[in-house]
Amino acid sequence: GAVVSQHPSRVICKSGTSVKIECRSLDFQATTMFWYRQFPKKSLMLMATSNEGSKATYEQGVEKDKFLINHASLTLSTLTVTSAHPEDSSFYICSASSPDRGSMEAFFGQGTRLTVV
């Protein structure tokens, strides 16, 4: 299967600072990437859909000014949590897909554990 890499796997930041999480498709070009958030012992909630070269589409209730998404190339999407607060602490997972792969599934990164102190 395809490989999607997320970096960093864990990050601790101070309240009020910003942190950037990268999602890369290593062996295919991803026209679409998705960002999910998982609260402790909860399911994954879709935050936004990121299409290369265009603005991300955010799900209802997700603050686009707080969670900045950039999909500048076909292999990289970034999620920046701006002015982070303890309530932003969570597990963030990205997925990537491309119709060209002929496989009707999205491929998931290993996730990033964000802790805001």
Partner 1 sequence: AQSVTQLDSQVPVFEEAPVELRCNYSSSVSVYLFWYVQYPNQGLQLLLKYLSGSTLVKGINGFEAEFNKSQTSFHLRKPSVHISDTAEYFCAVDTGGFKTIFGAGTRLFVKA
**Of the residues 24, 79, 111, 116, which one makes contact with partner 1 according to CB under 8 A:** 111
Using the rule CB under 8 A, is 50 a contact of partner 1? Answer: no
| Cα Rg of the chain, angstroms | 13
- How many angstroms separate the Cα of 89 from the Cα of each of 23, 42, 80, 84, 100? 18, 13, 13, 8, 35
Window 79-108: contact mask with partner 1 (x via CB under 8 A): --------------x-x-x------xxx-x
Beta bridge partners of residue 4, listed in sequence order: 25
Positions touching partner 1 (CB under 8 A) are 1, 6, 32, 34, 36, 42-46, 49, 93, 95, 97, 104-106, 108-111, 113
